[in-house]
Structure 1
Amino acid sequence: MPLTVLLVDDEPLVRAGLRAVLEAQPDIEVVGEAADGAAVIPLVRRLRPDVVAMDVRMPLMDGIEATHAVLRSVPEPPKILVVTTFENDEYVYGALRAGADGFLLKRARPAEIVHAVRLVAEGDSLLFPAAVRRLAAEYGKDSGTTEARAAMERAALTGREADVLRLMARGLANAEIAERLMIGTETVKSHVSAVLAKLGARDRTQAVIAAYESGFVSPG
């Protein structure tokens, strides 16, 4: 089965470019397009894409609101990859906090676009960890509240789970974490699942943002 993608961007040329790049891959299929976030929910329900590549700034419903809407109203929602012009953008961080799984620059090379879609679909590691760290340092400092710290304390991570979360924040994949900690890959997967469950995080990106905003991991 091919990896299916829904494209959401108010610029037809951007959608056309992404479609050309992705459909050049034998294992990726673009199943639909939309020009605004307001059209995302019915398309997701009908097409059931694996990944939504979504512009962060759109006229009627932006990527932040659309991400909230999809995750709130669609059972087993797709992965959401925010597509943006500017890397250091408060809108991007807002979309990640809302539940987006990663972001991609519109000027990215074709190979980077394909890699981003596949990586987000697999969910095995953090996409562009250095960039997420910079965004957290710039915009997370105002979001890191007493509530975030309290939530991290309530999670009561074990020592090994804490180690795994720190390495997740550095962008390491499961196999890399296993090698670093000298444990099995399946054991790492179990620890990752436990961390996500304890933090109430949808995926690795949300867990890492929670770690930054609570002060558990320093963006610097």
Structure 2
Amino acid sequence: MSGTPPPLRILIVDDHTVVRAGLRALLESEPGFEVVGETGDGTDAVRQVERLRPDVVLMDLRLSDTDGAHDGHHGIDGIEATRRILAGSAPAQVVVLTSHGRQVDVLRAVEAGARGYVLKAGPPEELFRAVRAVVTGGMALAPEAAAQFVGPPAERGPVLSEREIEVVRLLALGHSNRSIAGTLYLAEATVKTHLIRIYRKLGTENRAGTVTEAVRLGLIELS
């Protein structure tokens, strides 16, 4: 007895309400897709995946901390949320949906386990194809993202760990070592160790130079 296969269950993770609404409308207009939830917070995304068991998570890379600030938890970005989702018990696949096709973003997303990388400015059909591809075990990279894998690794620049990225972001906001330690719940000595590693990876010698180089490489953005 053959019948219509169940729709693919999708969770949308983006910190812009208007973007989520647009994505929901777009996805629900496509046969075979069902949006089962949405959130603008990385930590909540991990919880929703465990509860809702979606087939695919559409994950924005850059998530603000504001949605999670009210309940006291420290917000996580799309890369860390992807890692936690794929380390959990729910077998969801992650498609990164972002405004950027920069090399460092693509590499970090793939290293975290995302199987799709689609640009928000791309055609809807590209997003639909990516959702279907990852469910069947395939990879789906937008052409702009796939192009970032062309060329020798030496051209890709340094890849900082998620914790190192957090430290650099706080540096850019003018935090002291003590303030960084308090914000990230680390010992001040651990922050100093992170800074030494960051300086070595970026080839910098001071805080200002490190922030400048991190922005140049696309590791962080100054809002």
Give me the TM-score of the superposition, normalised by structure 2: 0.58
| Structure 1 segments unaligned to the other structure (5+ residues) | 145-220
SS of equivalent to 1:100:
coil
Question: Which one scores higher on RCO, CA 8 angstroms, separation ≥ 6?
Answer: 1
Query: CA contact under 8 A between 2:106 and 2:145: conserved in structure 1?
Result: no
Q: Identify the residue that residue 57 of structure 1 maps to in structure 2.
A: 62
In the alignment, which of 129, 135, 138 is matched to residue 148 of structure 2? 135
Deviation at 1:26, TM superposition (A): 2.5
Give me the TM-score of the superposition, normalised by structure 1: 0.58
Give 1 or 2 for the bigger CA radius of gyration.
Answer: 2
Q: Hey, what's the Cα distance between the residues in 1 that align with 2:147 and 2:60?
A: 20
Deviation at 1:130, TM superposition (A): 5.0
Identity of matched residues, %: 42
Q: Identify the residue that residue 23 of structure 1 maps to in structure 2.
A: 28
Query: CA contact under 8 A between 1:56 and 1:63: conserved in structure 2?
Result: yes
Q: Identify the residue that residue 45 of structure 1 maps to in structure 2.
A: 50
Q: Hey, what's the Cα distance between the residues in 2 that align with 1:69 and 1:134?
A: 27
Deviation at 1:93, TM superposition (A): 1.8
Q: Identify the residue that residue 162 of structure 1 maps to in structure 2.
A: none
Aligned residues: 142
Q: Hey, what's the Cα distance between the residues in 1 that align with 2:81 and 2:119?
A: 18
Q: Hey, what's the Cα distance between the residues in 2 that align with 1:137 and 1:56?
A: 22
Runs of 4+ in structure 1 over 2 Å off: 128-144
RMSD: 2.3
Q: Hey, what's the Cα distance between the residues in 2 that align with 1:78 and 1:116?
A: 14
Query: CA contact under 8 A between 1:90 and 1:139: conserved in structure 2?
Result: no
Structure having the higher helix fraction is 1
Q: Hey, what's the Cα distance between the residues in 2 that align with 1:129 and 1:108?
A: 8
